[in-house]
Structure 1
Amino acid sequence: MSKIRITKQFSFETGHALYGYDGKCKNVHGHSYKLSVTVIGTPISDPTNVKYGMVIDFSDLKKIVKTEIVDVFDHATVFNKNTPHVELAKELSDRDHNVLLVDYQPTSEMMVIDFAEKIKKHLPETIQLSALRLQETDSSFAEWFASDN
């Protein structure tokens, strides 16, 4: 049977700052991110299966991405834990702000790599992550493709 790719889109609001960067993005700022998640698999061919004809139920994919990415990053501020931003992060956390400390520079490029690893761990073994697209503005996005990795 044919391999089919399906895509589900998500959106979330996240702030970040790029430590050591030489432009405006060194300042704390935010984005209205759009994340497109594409998986590939063979549609279920067993007519007795309630998911007959599906690669994966869109609601199952939604649960994975919401739990691993959207619910974690939405309305959070992300800082690299290996920079002096940890002092600001502590201050914000102490004031009950949602702060995430990651072990990478929180660029779209590095976030999409992180997201790919998180999502892959939770997909059924018959489904593979094919691509991710993380859009931070109307004209700027980072893409991850399984075929490149």
Structure 2
Amino acid sequence: MIRITKIFIFETAHVLYNYDGKCKNMHGHSYKLFVTVKGKPIDDLDNPKNGMVVDFGDIKKIVNEQIVDAWDHGVLLNANSPHQELGNELESRGHKVIYCNFQPTCENMLYEIASRIKNRLPKSVSLEYLKLHETENSYGEWFAEDQDKN
């Protein structure tokens, strides 16, 4: 088996409802997302993807559609909190608001990213690892092996 990784960068703001620190205020990050998939390289001379686990371009298309294009230059807000009102005000002023059904922390964003992309990969490829840098020196990690198989 071989693991390959593609890196993505996007700019997103968030607000953490009821947080007891600075992140209760709206602020943004330059997120850096590492997406690692696993599979066996194709061994078929007639296949244009011969020698590849999956085309990096295919990973790029999936992650851009599901995450980068959806979240870039938007504000993530917890739709289950009173921040819904803040989101409505921002939207009325032309801002891009993404309502999530979770507190938009790095940790919860990783769960959402995994759920959005793992079933869109080719059947011969599995999502193995995600790393999401919120800042240069702060990041979260998601490992397939750590997930509940139920």
* Range of TM-score over shorter length: over 0.9
Aligned residue for 2:79? 81
Aligned residue for 2:99? 101
Equivalent residue for 1:137, pick from 130, 135, 138: 135
Equivalent residue for 2:56, pick from 37, 58, 79: 58
What is the one-letter code of the residue matched to 2:50?
Answer: Y
Aligned residue for 1:17? 15
Secondary structure (helix, strand or coil) at the match of 2:8 reads strand
Distance apart, 1:65 and its partner CA: 0.2
Aligned residue for 1:112? 110
Equivalent residue for 1:36, pick from 34, 40, 46: 34
Unaligned runs of 5+ residues in structure 1 are none
What is the one-letter code of the residue matched to 2:108?
Answer: M
Q: How many residue pairs are counted as aligned between the two chains?
A: 147
Distance apart, 1:129 and its partner CA: 0.1
What is the one-letter code of the residue matched to 1:12?
Answer: F
Distance apart, 1:115 and its partner CA: 0.1
Distance apart, 1:94 and its partner CA: 1.1
Aligned residue for 1:92? 90
TM-score, normalised to structure 1, is 0.98
Secondary structure (helix, strand or coil) at the match of 2:110 reads helix
Percent identical among aligned pairs is: 56
Distance apart, 1:121 and its partner CA: 1.8
Aligned residue for 1:146? 144
What is the one-letter code of the residue matched to 1:20?
Answer: N
Question: Structure 2 CA distance, aligned partners of 1:80 and 1:104?
Answer: 5
Unaligned runs of 5+ residues in structure 2 are none
TM-score, normalised to structure 2, is 0.97
